Structure 1
Amino acid sequence: MEILLLVTIVIIAIAMINFRDYLNHPQKRPQINNEEKDSELSEYQNPYKNQEQISSLSREEKIAKSEYGLIVALLSKLAQSDGKVCELELELMENTIQDIADALCLQSAMNQKDEILEILHKIFDFTNESVESLTRSYATLTKGQYKSRLKLVEYLLALAYADGELGSEEREIILDVAAYLEIDNEDFNTLYDTFEEFYAQKQVDSTLQEAYATLGVSEEDSMEHIKKTYKNLVRQFHPDILYHKGLEQSIMEDSTKKLQSINQAYQIIKKHKKVESTAE
Structure 2
Amino acid sequence: MRVHHLNCGCMCPLGGALFDGFSRGLTARLVCHCLLIETDTDGLVLVDTGFGTADVARPGARLSTFFRYFNNIRFEHRYTALAQVRQLGFDPQDVRHIVLTHLDFDHAGGLEDFPNARVHVMQTEMDAARSAAGWRDTRRFREKQWAGVTDWAFYQPQGERWNGFDAVRTLIGANSHDILLVPLAGHTPGHAGVAVRTGEGWLLHAGDAYFYRGEIGNHRRECTPGLRFYQRMMEYDHKQRVDNQNRLRALSLATDQQVRMFCSHDALELERAQAANPARS
Name the TM-score, length of structure 2 as normaliser.
0.27
Greater helix proportion = 1
Structure with max Cα Rg: 1
Greater strand proportion = 2
Name the TM-score, length of structure 1 as normaliser.
0.27
